[in-house]
Amino acid sequence: MPTFRTRPVTIEAMYFDGSYRSGKAILDWADETVYRANLVGFVGLKIKTMEGIMDVSPGDWVIKGVIGEFYPCKPDQFQKKYELVEEP
Q: List, for residues 20-64, the tens digit of each pLDDT value.
A: 899 999 999 999 999 887 655 566 899 999 899 999 999 999 999
**pLDDT range class, residue 6, cuts 50, 70, 90:** confident
Domain assignments of the chain as residue spans, ordered by start = 13-80
pTM: predicted TM-score of the whole model, two decimal places: 0.84
pLDDT of residue 43: 67
Residue 53 burial class via C-beta count within 10 angstroms: exposed 0-12, middle 13-18, buried 19 and up: exposed
pLDDT of residue 40: 55
